[in-house]
Amino acid sequence: MSEAQQHYAFEVTDEDAGERLDRFLARQLPAFSRSRLKTLVKEGHARQDGRTIEEPNYRVKPGDSFEVTVPPAAPAAPRPEAMPLSVVYEDDALIVIDKPAGLVVHPAAGNWTGTLVNALIAHCGDSLSGIGGVRRPGIVHRLDKETSGLLVVAKTDAAHQALAAQFADHGRTGALVRRYTAFVWGAPQPAKGTIEAAIGRKPHQRTKMAVLEDGGKAAVTHYETRARYGDGQGATASRISCRLETGRTHQIRVHMAHIGHPLIGDATYGSGYKTKAARLPAAAQTAVSALIGQALHADVLGFAHPLTGDAMRFESPLPKELAELANSLADLD
C-alpha cells in the first residue's frame, strides 16, 4: 500500500513577519528538518495564496497563507534484507542495535548488500518516515565492521536531526556518552590518561588513518586500565576502557597504536604483534585467532531522547569471543 502525500496549511501572524519561509515552516512542522523543508520549497511544494514559492529565503508577511505538500518518501536505495538483529530498544523515533563484529553498517564499495542498513530497512518497514525525503534509517554514528556493540539509529527526520546534533557535540555539553572496552598489547603507562593527537589519512596509504602533525583533525581519547594480564608492569596485555571526546575514523585503534599498545587482533594497526600472539599459551592463542577483527566493543551508549529529552543509557556485555579472550588472558596471571 503506497503512502499518500501530506498537505499542511498555515497563516502568518504578526509575530512571524519578516521571517524566512524555511525557518517559518520549520517551526510549524517540527517533524521535518529545516533542510528537508528547504528542499521541498525549492522543488515547488510550497504555495502562497495560490502561487508557487520556490525561494526558501522568501520573507513571509502577516496574513500570508501557505500550503505545503509533502510527497511520499521515496523507497530506500539499498534493498531490504531480512537478517537477525539484536534490538536493545525501539520506539517510533529510534532503534538501538547491539551490532555483532563482522557486520558493515552502511552500504559502500565492496559491501552493497548484507549491511545493517539493509537489515534495518527490512526490520523497520513503514515505521521509517522518510529522512531527507527517502525512506531510510538515519545513521548518526558508525562502528567499524569488526567492532561490536551499541549503535543508535533514527527512524524519523526530527529524531535524525536531534541525534546528529548530540553526536556532533560529542557529549561536551549534553547527555551523550560513548564508552568502549578494548584489549590491547602491553600495559599503557600511565594506567589512566588522555591521548590528544590529530588524526588524518595516512599519506601514500589512504585506506589507513594515522596521527599527523599537520593536516589531521583534532582527536581526543580518554582511557583507563581495568585489568592487566601477565607480569605486573611488564604485562602481556591489558583490558582498558575508552571514552571518546571526538569521533574520528579508527580513533581508538590509531591512538592506542600511537602510544605503543595496539588492539589485539588489529591487523591494520597492530600487525607487528603477530609474533607476540604466537608466544601466548594455547588457550589464549585460540581465543585471539577466533577474533573477527580487533578486540573492541562499544559497551555503553547514553543520549537524550531526541523527542522527549529523557536521559537514556544502554549497556552491552562482552560478546562471546571477547569474553573468551578475557578468560584466557586472565590465566596468564
Query: Which CATH number does the domain housing residue 200 bear?
Result: 3.30.2350.10
144 catalytic per annotation: yes
- Please give the DSSP secondary-structure letter assigned to residue 121: H
What are the backbone angles phi and psi of residue 116, rounded to the nearest 5°? -60, -40
Residue that is last in its domain, among 22, 40, 70: 70
Same domain, 39 and 55: yes
**pLDDT tens, position by position, 7-63:** 888 888 888 888 999 989 988 888 787 888 888 888 888 899 889 888 989 999 998
**Residues 6 and 40 sit within 8 Å (Cβ to Cβ):** no
Query: Which CATH number does the domain housing residue 19 bear?
Result: 3.10.290.10
Task: Give me the pLDDT at residue 1, please.
Answer: 35
Active-site choice (22, 64, 98, 144): 144
In a domain, 1, yes or no: no
Whether residue 62 has a cis bond before it, omega within 30° of 0: no
Same domain, 20 and 122: no
Same domain, 152 and 243: no
pLDDT tens, N- to C-terminus, the chain (333 residues)? 345 678 888 888 888 888 999 989 988 888 787 888 888 888 888 899 889 888 989 999 998 899 998 877 656 567 889 999 999 999 999 999 999 999 999 877 667 788 998 999 899 887 786 666 566 788 889 899 999 999 999 998 889 989 999 998 877 777 899 999 999 999 999 999 999 999 999 888 878 999 998 889 999 999 999 999 987 556 899 999 999 988 899 999 999 999 999 999 999 999 888 778 888 889 999 999 999 999 999 999 999 999 999 999 999 999 999 999 999 999 886
Distance from C-alpha of 41 to C-alpha of 57, rounded to nearest angstrom? 10
Residue that is last in its domain, among 108, 138, 168: 168
Question: Around Cβ 178, how many Cβ atoms within 10 Å?
Answer: 21
**pLDDT tens, position by position, 246-286:** 889 999 999 999 999 999 999 999 988 877 888 888 999 99
Residue that is last in its domain, among 70, 90, 110: 70
Q: Which structural domain, as residue segments, surrounds residue 242?
A: 180-299+323-330
In a domain, 248, yes or no: yes
Which grid coordinates belong to 223?
A: 582511557
Same domain, 61 and 158: no
Backbone conformation region of residue 291, classed left if phi is above 0, alpha if psi is from -120 to 50, else beta: beta
Same domain, 87 and 64: no
What are the backbone angles phi and psi of residue 163, rounded to the nearest 5°? -65, -40
DSSP lists the bridge partners of residue 244 as 221
Same domain, 66 and 77: no
In a domain, 313, yes or no: no
